[in-house]
Structure 1
Amino acid sequence: MHLACALVIIISAAPAAARDLVGQVSIVDGDTLDIHDERIRLWGIDAPESTQLCRGRDRRPYRCGALAANTLDAFVRAKTVRCTPVDDDRYGRIVARCAVGKVDLGQMLVSRGLAVEEPQYSHGHYGADQLAARRAGRGIWAGRFVEPSFYRACMHAAGGRVSECSDGTPGWR
């Protein structure tokens, strides 16, 4: 009896983040969503920030971060999303692999050129998708862009402005 009670206590004490989160989501940005009041960062990818600008084939700036977020929003709208937690990040968000049916949301974004793979986390899982998007000139690969991590660093630095951080170096591709 004591063993059974101990097992119930241990099982109920397991972190909630270890369980899949399933339901409709709201989009925060191109790689972050909310489901059941939980903030979730998509595993293995990094999308341009909502305010970030990229340059298209025509060299004109466009809101690539907003495009990533809007595309993700349109894709998941009124659909059930399943997120399987992988880790937590330094901001306390759940890092998860999320899908609509059999469509991995990270893979969808990378293959459309709306996000870049983070191989240090994904271990190359989206590498072929990114290479195909780059070769086909899809999304951000059609023109030039600053890596999202460099954009964030620039914006957090004193005096970071969208236009300067979107077009600056380092991180320019």
Structure 2
Amino acid sequence: MSRSWSQRPRRRYVPRPPRSLWRRLLDYALTAVLLGLFILVAARLDRFETRKEQGMAIVNDGDSITLGAERIRMRGIDAPEYVQTCRKDGADYPCGKLARQSLVRLIAGRPVICSGWQRDRYGRLLGDCKAGETSLNRAQVQAGWAVAFGDFETEEAVARASKAGIWAGSFDEPQDWRDSHHDQPVERRHGTLASLGDALREFFRFR
């Protein structure tokens, strides 16, 4: 038979002893550390703020443009250098100039919008660019005038199969051409995985 509520023994209230001075100091120090970490994380996140540029573009070559004072390297693609030549039907042709002409045609005089937060070794913004509803990065690879450089592998496979642009003949990969003509560091690919690596490096960079 269970006892009624009034018959149950009552627990005696015992007040907790006051925290020691060292315990209070430890609590204050932990609070300060957590606040410092919060401020640090907030400051680091500012480094990943997306920059957006728009306006009438000056086309420099097949994968880089200038919008106002901002130089932009189109992210995830690599076009032949402006002075680079490729080979087709047993003859050399100026594929670098044709890659630039392709980008000019894609823009078609329309305003261009580019956004991104990373920069390459020359300080250029790595941007995803659009003219109207046309993704210029994707369209250059689809047209066969740029190769995938960390992104757009599916578009490259289609262009290769249809022998579009530079895939109609033979050519040196733009990165290989630069390596053989300029004594410069190898440019890192800048696709999704590279973006993740850059984000981690930026977060833990202490300057």
Q: Do these two structures clear the TM 0.5 threshold for a shared fold by scoring above it?
A: yes
In the alignment, structure 1 segments of 5+ residues that lack a partner are 1-9, 158-173
Does 1:35 pair with 2:67?
yes
Deviation at 1:74, TM superposition (A): 2.6
Distance 1:104 1:77 in 2: 13
Deviation at 1:127, TM superposition (A): 1.3
**Alignment TM-score, normalising by the size of structure 2:** 0.63
Deviation at 1:73, TM superposition (A): 1.6
Partner of 2:78 in structure 1? 46
- Out of 87, 93, 98, the residue aligned to residue 62 of structure 1 is 93
Aligned-partner SS, 2:104: helix
Task: Quote the RMSD (CA, aligned, Å).
Answer: 2.0
Deviation at 1:19, TM superposition (A): 2.7
Partner of 1:146 in structure 2? 172
Does 1:26 pair with 2:69?
no
Distance 1:31 1:24 in 2: 16
Deviation at 1:67, TM superposition (A): 0.2
Please tell me whether Structure 1 or Structure 2 has the larger radius of gyration of its CA atoms: 2
In the alignment, structure 2 segments of 5+ residues that lack a partner are 1-41, 184-207
**Residues matched between the structures, number:** 140
Does 1:72 pair with 2:103?
yes
Q: Is the 8 A contact 2:62 2:81 kept in 1?
A: yes
Q: Is the 8 A contact 2:63 2:73 kept in 1?
A: yes
**Alignment TM-score, normalising by the size of structure 1:** 0.75
Deviation at 1:25, TM superposition (A): 0.4
Identity %: 37
What is the identity, as a one-letter code, of the residue corresponding to 1:44? G
Distance 1:86 1:47 in 2: 21
Distance 1:128 1:86 in 2: 24
Deviation at 1:18, TM superposition (A): 2.7
Q: Deviations over 1:3-34 (max 9, x none)?
A: xxxxxxx9xxx67x733111110011110100
Q: Deviations over 1:33-84 (max 9, x none)?
A: 000111000000000001111112x121110010001111232242011101
- Out of 135, 157, 169, the residue aligned to residue 161 of structure 2 is 135
Q: Is the 8 A contact 2:130 2:136 kept in 1?
A: yes
Deviation at 1:128, TM superposition (A): 1.3
Greater RCO, 1 or 2 (C-alpha within 8 Å, sep 6+): 1
- Structure 1 window deviating more from structure 2 (26-35 vs 81-90): it is 81-90
